[in-house]
Amino acid sequence: MKIMMLASEAEPYAKTGGLGDVVSALSRALAAVGHEVAVVLPLYEATSRVLAKRPRSIVSDDVAIPLGDETRHVRIIRSDADGVSWFFIEDSEYFARPGLYGTSDGDYPDNAARFMTLVRGAFAIAADVFRPDILHCHDWQTGLAPVLIKSGQDSAHPPGSLPTLFTIHNLGYDGMYEREVLAEIGLPDELFSVDGLEFYDKVSFLKGGLLFADRVSTVSEAYSREILTPEYGLGKEGITNLRKDDLTGILNGVDYERWDPSTDELIATKYSVDDLSGKQECKLDLLKEFGLSDADPSRPVLGIVSRVVWQKGLDLVVAVAPEIVKAGGLLTVLGTGETGLEEALKALAKKFPGNVAVRIAHDERLAHKVEAGADIFVMPSRYEPCGLNQMYSLKYGTVPVVRATGGLSDTIQPWDGEARTGNGFRFTGESRDAFLAAIHEAMDLNQDRDAWSVIMRNGMNEDYSWGRSAQRYVDLYEELIQAS
C-alpha cells in the first residue's frame, strides 16, 4: 500500500508537540511492516538545519501553486530516511521563519495561505512523484486537502479518486479565518455555508477536514467519545456527531527506539525494569540541570514537560505549587506557551528558590532528563486527546498523576494498594483540591519504597508500542480503499 502523510510537523524536522512525534513514529511503523510511506511537510527554517546534515535531492525546482489571484512557485526537496520518503515544500517567504505557526505575539496572519500552499504542493507530489492509495491528513493545517478533492477543486484528483482520512490530534485548534480568505486562497465562495467551511461566520479549516474527509479518526478511544459531548466538543459537537458513524479512535503509540531508559543516550545513566539503580543518578542529574543540586535528593521530584497553555492545566500547577513545596516536594517544569502562564511559573521559581525550577524552552534533551530523573510526572490537562508524556513516563518508571480525561484515562490505571495493581494516580474535575489530593497520594506512596518499586515496574512493563496502533490504521486504510 502507498500511504501519503500530510502534516505541518514531524520529528526530527519540525516539532512543537505530540503531533510531530506521532506523524514521524506512525510513518516509520507503517514502513517497517512493508508499506510505502511518504510524508509531506513545509520546509521551515528549523527543517533546513536538520536537512543540511542529511542526504537530499531536488525533486522539482519550480512547481506552480495556484493561490487565489497569484501563482506561487515552490521547490520540492526529498530526503529518504528510516524507510520513509520525506518530501518538503520550499517556499522561503512562507516557511523560512523562526516559528512554525507564529510568534509569542500570536499566529502568523497568512497561515491560511501558507498551509494551502502545503496542501497544493502535496497534491503536485501525489500527481507526478508519489501516487498514493490513501491520503492521511493531520489536524487543521491539512483540513483543506479533503475539501479540494471532494468539492472538485483539484484537477488531478477529482472526487472519489483518492480516499482521505482526517485525524484530529486536538479539536481545540481550528484554523479560523475571515470569509475573505476563501478568495485569497482560491476557493469558491459557495463553500462558505453551513454544509461547507462556515463556522460561526468564519472559515474553519478544521471543519473542512471533519466534513469532507472520507473517514475521521482521533488519537484515543476515550477522546473519540468525548468530542461528541458538549463538555469536550468545544462547540463543534454538532459537527462531530454528524460524522459519528465515520469516527474511529486509535490510541497513539510510543516510539520506544527514542523513549526507553535502557537505550536512551540523552540521560545520565541507562536503567531498566530489571535494574533500577540508574534512576537515582538520573534524578541527581536532573536536579543539577535545573539548579537544584543543593536540595535533599530523597525528596520527591515532580516533573512537567508541557506546552504552557490553559488546556494543559498549568494554572492548576501554579495554584498548588506552594502546597507541593510545603509537603516536601521539588518541582521542575519545562515548556513554552502562553506568556501569562510562563510569567506565573517564573514567579513561582523566584518565590521558591531551591524548590521550584522552571525552564521556558522547547528542549528535547531536557525532556528526556525530566522523564528519567523525576519521581512523579504531572499532567492535569483539562482535556487530552491522547497524551504521550504519560506513556513516556511509564516506560521511565516516573509515576504519572493525571486528570481522568481522553488518552490519560485510556493509559493510566489508578493504584490499588491492596491488589498492588495500577500504574499511576488520577483525579476528576478541575478543582485544585482534587488535583492536590492526587499529588499528596503519590508523594505519600513515594515514601514507601517497596510499594513505589511495584508501581514503577507496573508502568515500565506496559507496552504502548506502535505495532498494534499501526495495524489499526492499516485496517482503516484498507476499508477506505475498498470503498472508493
pLDDT computed for residue 306 by the predictor: 96
> 234 Cβ partners below 8 Å, 6+ apart?
171, 172
Domain range enclosing 328: 278-460
| Mean pLDDT, rounded, for 214-221 | 97
Indicate if 371 and 443 belong to the same structural domain. Answer: yes
Is the pLDDT at 380 greater than 80? The verdict is yes
The whole-angstrom separation of Cα 349 and Cα 410 is: 33
pLDDT computed for residue 360 by the predictor: 96
In-domain check, residue 148: yes
DSSP 3-state assignment of 67? strand
Q: Helix 314-326 and helix 432-446: axis angle, to 10°?
A: 50
| Mean pLDDT, rounded, for 269-276 | 97
In this structure, what C-alpha cell is assigned to residue 239? 459537527
Indicate if 126 and 184 belong to the same structural domain. Answer: yes
Is the pLDDT at 33 greater than 80? The verdict is yes
pLDDT computed for residue 484 by the predictor: 83
CATH of the domain at 397: 3.40.50.2000
In-domain check, residue 260: no
| Mean pLDDT, rounded, for 382-409 | 97
Indicate if 128 and 62 belong to the same structural domain. Answer: yes
Indicate if 383 and 476 belong to the same structural domain. Answer: no
Residue showing cell 518538503: 88
Is the pLDDT at 66 greater than 90? The verdict is yes
Indicate if 428 and 448 belong to the same structural domain. Answer: yes
Give yes or no for a contact between 270 and 264, defined as CB atoms under 8 angstroms apart: yes
Q: Torsion angle, CA of 27/31/36/38, rounded to 10 degrees? A: 30
Indicate the pLDDT class of residue 182, thresholds 50, 70 and 90: very high
414: which strand partners? 424
* Helices (H), ranges, 156-277: 181-185, 205-212, 221-226, 230-233, 237-242
Average pLDDT of the chain to the nearest whole number: 96
Indicate if 456 and 470 belong to the same structural domain. Answer: no
User: 115-171 pLDDT, tens per residue?
Assistant: 999 999 999 999 999 999 999 999 999 999 999 999 999 999 999 999 999 999 999
User: 330-379 pLDDT, tens per residue?
Assistant: 999 999 999 999 999 999 999 999 999 999 998 999 999 999 999 999 99
Is the pLDDT at 79 greater than 80? The verdict is yes
pLDDT computed for residue 300 by the predictor: 98
Residue showing cell 518499586: 453
pLDDT computed for residue 17 by the predictor: 83
* 9-26 CB burial, b ≥16 within 10 A, e <16: bbbebbbebbbbbbbbbb
In-domain check, residue 99: yes
In-domain check, residue 402: yes
Residue percentage of the chain with pLDDT more than 90:
97
Number of residues assigned to the chain: 484
Indicate if 234 and 325 belong to the same structural domain. Answer: no
* 184-197 CB burial, b ≥16 within 10 A, e <16: bbbbeeebbeeebb
What pTM, to 2 d.p., does this model score?
Answer: 0.91
Q: How far is CA 164 from CA 40, 158, 392, in A?
A: 15, 12, 30
Residue showing cell 521556558: 360
The dihedrals phi and psi of 106, each to the nearest 5 degrees, come to: 135, -175
In-domain check, residue 273: no
pLDDT computed for residue 104 by the predictor: 77
The whole-angstrom separation of Cα 246 and Cα 253 is: 22
CA nearest neighbour of 101 among 179, 164, 19, 165:
19
| Mean pLDDT, rounded, for 315-337 | 97
Indicate if 41 and 184 belong to the same structural domain. Answer: yes
| Mean pLDDT, rounded, for 38-67 | 96
Indicate if 179 and 291 belong to the same structural domain. Answer: no
pLDDT computed for residue 227 by the predictor: 97
Residue percentage of the chain with pLDDT more than 70:
100
Q: Is 414 left (phi over 0), alpha (psi -120 to 50) or beta?
A: beta
Is the pLDDT at 105 greater than 90? The verdict is no
In-domain check, residue 265: no
The whole-angstrom separation of Cα 380 and Cα 370 is: 17
pLDDT computed for residue 430 by the predictor: 86
Indicate if 229 and 292 belong to the same structural domain. Answer: no
Indicate if 376 and 325 belong to the same structural domain. Answer: yes
User: 226-250 pLDDT, tens per residue?
Assistant: 999 999 999 999 999 999 999 999 9
pLDDT computed for residue 344 by the predictor: 97
In-domain check, residue 263: no
Indicate if 88 and 194 belong to the same structural domain. Answer: yes
In-domain check, residue 272: no
DSSP letter string over 131-187? --SEEEEESGGGTHHHHHHHTT--TTS-TTSS-EEEEES-TT---EE-TTHHHHHT-
The whole-angstrom separation of Cα 474 and Cα 305 is: 31
Q: How many domains does the chain have?
A: 2
Peptide bond preceding 55: is omega within 30 degrees of 0, i.e. cis? no
Give yes or no for a contact between 39 and 28, defined as CB atoms under 8 angstroms apart: no
Residue type, 459: G
pLDDT computed for residue 340 by the predictor: 94
